[in-house]
């Protein structure tokens, strides 16, 4: 149904959290998945659980250590994927981090760190896979933004700037790459319970659907954007936030 059977996907930050859910969802649809992350132990363990195999072409999951801020590591990851599976059909730019401080205390180091991972990392990933996608005449890139790419959030200055940036980069790429058969869309999760959000109390959030999100809540949107059901969708923003950015329910 999704058309993902036999397709090859790279997922960044795929070792844990929402990224691991994306990995599992793509794998369940029959895709070959290259899990990438800086967390080697967790990434290897997930690949093993999904049936990694050392021989090229065998198994449908593998792990490749990749810091998304490292330009050369991107070239290596794409080359390894092409060698092992022969294509890059899908890229999910999911790796991300958050830091927070009032603006007077938001250091340049904090700003540069979050920009490097969330925005530059996404740019490098898109740039690295485009030659293979152009050669194949098809591809789907899913960039992970956030509800913080749609509105402001106090103290999250760098994070918010990167997630708006990811949304903008998605639009320029969608326009430029459409004629090559490459679609580029963004996904905007709301509050999802992962390691990233452990310090936030969901009871304080007013969510129309009445509960915080779980990583599994993102799987359907990701499979839609990665696969053929969205064949005529590019430059779109899919918001998966339980209605959080739609309005505030009366309590």
Judged by CB under 6 A, the residue of 37, 130, 239, 242 near ligand NAI is 37
**Could you tell me the smallest distance in angstroms from the CB atom of residue 34 to ligand NAI?**
13
CA-closest candidate to residue 185, choices 132, 136, 134, 239: 239
Strand partners, 90: 9, 140
SS3 category, 99 = coil
From 79-87, 94-102, 173-181, 227-235, span contacting ligand NAI (CB under 6 A)? 94-102
SS3 category, 240 = strand
Judged by CB under 6 A, the residue of 100, 136, 196, 233 near ligand NAI is 196
| Binding of residue 16 to ligand NAI (CB under 6 A) | yes
Q: Round to whole Å and give the CA distance between 12 and 121.
A: 9
* Residue carrying structure tokens 């659907």: 209
| Binding of residue 18 to ligand NAI (CB under 6 A) | yes
- Choose between 15 and 25: whose C-beta lies nearer to ligand NAI: 15
| Binding of residue 242 to ligand NAI (CB under 6 A) | no
| Binding of residue 195 to ligand NAI (CB under 6 A) | yes
Catalytic site residue from 63, 159, 164, 191: 159
| Binding of residue 153 to ligand NAI (CB under 6 A) | no
159 is catalytic: yes
* Token output for 72: 């050369």
DSSP strand E in 109-173: where? 139-144
- Choose between 20 and 130: whose C-beta lies nearer to ligand NAI: 20
Strand partners, 140: 90, 183
Residue 93's contacts (CB-CB under 8 Å, 6 or more residues apart) are: 12, 68, 121, 122, 125, 126, 141, 142, 143, 144, 166
Q: Round to whole Å and give the CA distance between 92 and 101.
A: 28
Task: Please tell me the count of residues contacting ligand NAI according to CB under 6 A.
Answer: 28
| Footprint of ligand NAI (CB under 6 A) | 12-13, 15-19, 37-39, 66-69, 94-97, 117, 144, 146, 189, 191-192, 194-197
Which are the catalytic amino acids?
159
């Amino acid at each position: 149904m999704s058309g993902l059977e036999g397709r090859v996907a790279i997922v960044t930050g795929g070792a844990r959290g929402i990224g691991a859910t994306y990995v599992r969802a793509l794998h369940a649809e029959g895709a070959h998945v290259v899990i990438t992350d800086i967390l080697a132990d967790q990434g290897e363990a997930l690949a093993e659980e999904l049936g990694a195999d050392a021989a090229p072409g065998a198994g449908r999951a593998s792990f490749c250590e990749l810091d998304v801020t490292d330009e050369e590591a991107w070239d290596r990851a794409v080359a390894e994927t092409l060698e092992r599976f022969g294509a890059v059909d899908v890229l999910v730019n999911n790796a991300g981090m958050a830091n927070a401080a009032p603006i007077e205390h938001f250091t340049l180091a904090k700003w540069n760190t979050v920009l490097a991972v969330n925005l530059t990392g996404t740019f490098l990933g898109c740039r690295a896979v485009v030659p293979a996608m152009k050669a194949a005449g098809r591809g789907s890139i899913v960039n992970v933004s956030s509800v913080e790419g749609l509105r402001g959030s106090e103290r999250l200055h760098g994070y918010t700037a990167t997630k708006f940036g990811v949304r903008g980069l998605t639009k320029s790429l969608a326009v430029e790459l459409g004629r090559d058969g490459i679609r580029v869309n963004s996904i905007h999760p709301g509050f999802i319970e992962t390691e990233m959000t452990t310090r936030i109390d969901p009871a304080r959030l007013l969510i129309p659907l009445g509960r915080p999100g779980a990583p599994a809540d993102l799987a359907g949107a990701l499979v839609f954007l990665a696969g053929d059901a969205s064949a005529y969708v590019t430059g779109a923003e899919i918001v998966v936030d339980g209605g959080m950015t739609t309005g505030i329910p009366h309590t």
